[in-house]
Structure 1
Amino acid sequence: MSVTSVLAFAVAVFVLSVTPGPDMMFVVGNGLSGGRRVAVVAALGTSTGLVVHTLAVAFGLGAVIASAPAVLDGVRIAGAVFLLYLAVTTWRASGRQANKAAEPHRPPRRTYVLAMLTNLANPKIVLFYLAFLPQFITEGPAAWPVTAQLLALGAGFIVIGLAVNAFAGVLAGSLSDWLLRNVSVRRWLDRIAATVFGGLATHLVLGTR
C-alpha cells in the first residue's frame, strides 16, 4: 500500500469514527451509567467485534452474508432484542440507586462481552467493510496480497475507532463520575443510557446505518 493511500484511509476512518454511530453510542451510554473504566472496557469490547468483522471480510465470509438477506435480518432482529433487554434492565436499575450511587451495574468482564455482542449484532458492518475497504486496496506486482491488505486496513480501522470511542466514553464517564454522588442525577444518567440502548435497538430494526 502506498503512503498516500494509507494517509487517505486514516483521514477517512477518523472522519467516520468521530461521527456518532452505534458503537460510540453504546460506549457513551455505558460511560454515563458506569463511569470511565466501564466506558473503556466497552470500547475494547466493540473493537473486538470489529476484529471478527475484519476477519470475515478478509477471508470472504462477507460475500456469504451479502448474498443472504434473511440471515442479515435475523441477526439484526436478535441484536435489537438484546439491546431492548439492556434498555429495560438499565432503566429498572435506575430506580434502585439508594446507597449504591457509585457502584457500576455490571462487572467489567460482562460489559466487555455485551459490547462485543452488540457490535456483532450489526452485520451491516461487514457489508460496510466490503464497500469501504476495497477502495484503498493497492494493485500491482509489488502490492501485498489482497487478504493481507484487508487485514491491515481493518486493523487500522479498529485502532482509530478504539481511540475515538474510548475518548468519547471517558468524557461521558468523567461527567458521570463527577455527578455520581447525587443519587437523583445518577438515576437520570441511567435513564439516558437506557434511552441510548433503546435507540440503538430501533436503529437495528429499521435497518439503517
Structure 2
Amino acid sequence: MDLGILLAFTGAALVIALVPGPDMMFILANGISSGPRGGVVAAVGMSTGVVVHTAAAALGLTAMFQAVPAALEVVRIAGIAFLLYLAVQSLRSSALPDVRGAPTRSMRRIYVLAVLTNVSNPKVILFYLAFVPQFVSVAAPWPVPVQLLALGGLLVAVGICVDAGVGLASGWLSSLLVSRPGVQRWLDRAAALLFGGLALRLATEDLR
C-alpha cells in the first residue's frame, strides 16, 4: 500500500478515536466503576472487537449486512440488550453496602462484555462499510483482504493507545475518590447512567 494512504488513514483514525463515542463512554464507565485496570481491560476488549470486525470485513461478511438490513437490526437489538444489562448490573452494585476493600468486578467479565458490546454495535459495521473502503484500492499490489487487515491493524493500534489512556485516567480519578465514604455508590450510578444513555442512543439512532 502507498505510504501516503497509510498516513492519511492513521490521521483519520486518530481523529475518530479522539472523538467521544459509545466505545469511549463504555471504557469511561468501566474505569469509573472498576479503576484503572478495569478501564484498560475495557479498552483492550474494544480493540479485540475491532479485530473481529476487521476479520469479518476481510472475509466479506461485513457486506452481508448491507445486503440484508434485517441482520443489522438484529445486531442493534443485541447491542441495546447488552448495554441495558450493564446499566442494571451497575445499579445493583450501587445498592450494595459500602464496604471498603470489596472486590471489584471480574476483569475477564469486563473484557468479554467489552468485546461483545463492540461487536454488537451496528455503527462499527457501518463504519467498515462506509469509511475503510475509501482507503482500499483494487489497483494496489496488495490483495483487498490484505489491505483491509493492514488498515484494521492500524485502527486497532491507534484506538488502543487513545482508549487505554481514557481508561487509565478515569480509573485513577475514581481510585482517588473511592476512598471517601459513599463515593463508590455514586460512581456505580454514574456508570449505570452512561450505559443506559448509550442504550438509548443506540435505540434511537438512524442506521440508514
Which of 191, 197, 200 does residue 198 from structure 2 map onto?
Answer: 200
1:149-188 pair list within 5 angstroms: 149-188=147-186
> Percent identity of the aligned residues?
52
Q: How far is 1:42 from its partner? A: 0.6
Do the aligned residues in 1 keep the contact of 2:98 with 2:184 (CA within 8 Å)? no
Aligned equivalents of 2:62 and 2:39: distance in 1?
Answer: 29
Q: How far is 1:138 from its partner? A: 3.7
Do the aligned residues in 1 keep the contact of 2:17 with 2:162 (CA within 8 Å)? yes
Instruction: Flag the 1:73–1:189 CA change in 2: closer, same or farther, 3 A.
Output: same
Q: How far is 1:195 from its partner? A: 0.5
Aligned equivalents of 1:207 and 1:167: distance in 2?
Answer: 28
Instruction: Flag the 1:166–1:126 CA change in 2: closer, same or farther, 3 A.
Output: same
Aligned equivalents of 1:88 and 1:101: distance in 2?
Answer: 22
Matched, 1:133 2:138: no
TM-score by length of 2: 0.94
Query: Which residue is 2:69 aligned to?
Result: 69
Query: Which residue is 2:143 aligned to?
Result: 145
Aligned equivalents of 2:198 and 2:101: distance in 1?
Answer: 26
Aligned equivalents of 2:2 and 2:128: distance in 1?
Answer: 20
Q: Structure 1: where are the runs of 5+ without partners?
A: none
Range that drifts further, 12-21 or 184-193:
184-193
RMSD over aligned Cα atoms? 1.5
Aligned pair count? 207
Aligned equivalents of 1:183 and 1:139: distance in 2?
Answer: 60
Corresponding letter in the other structure for 1:186: Q
Q: How far is 1:63 from its partner? A: 1.1
Aligned equivalents of 1:165 and 1:155: distance in 2?
Answer: 15
Do the aligned residues in 1 keep the contact of 2:94 with 2:184 (CA within 8 Å)? yes
Runs of 4+ aligned residues of structure 1 deviating over 6 Å after TM superposition are none
Query: Which residue is 1:54 aligned to?
Result: 54
Corresponding letter in the other structure for 1:145: P
1:83-122 pair list within 5 angstroms: 83-100=83-100, 103-104=103-104, 106-122=105-121
Aligned equivalents of 2:204 and 2:141: distance in 1?
Answer: 40
TM-score by length of 1: 0.94
Do the aligned residues in 2 keep the contact of 1:97 with 1:183 (CA within 8 Å)? no
Corresponding letter in the other structure for 2:54: T
Q: How far is 1:97 from its partner? A: 4.0
Corresponding letter in the other structure for 2:182: S
Q: Structure 2: where are the runs of 5+ without partners?
A: none
Aligned equivalents of 1:139 and 1:78: distance in 2?
Answer: 34
Q: Which deviations, in whole Å up to 9, do the C-alpha atoms of 1:122-145 show, x marking residues without a partner?
A: 1331221121112112443x6211
Aligned equivalents of 2:181 and 2:101: distance in 1?
Answer: 6
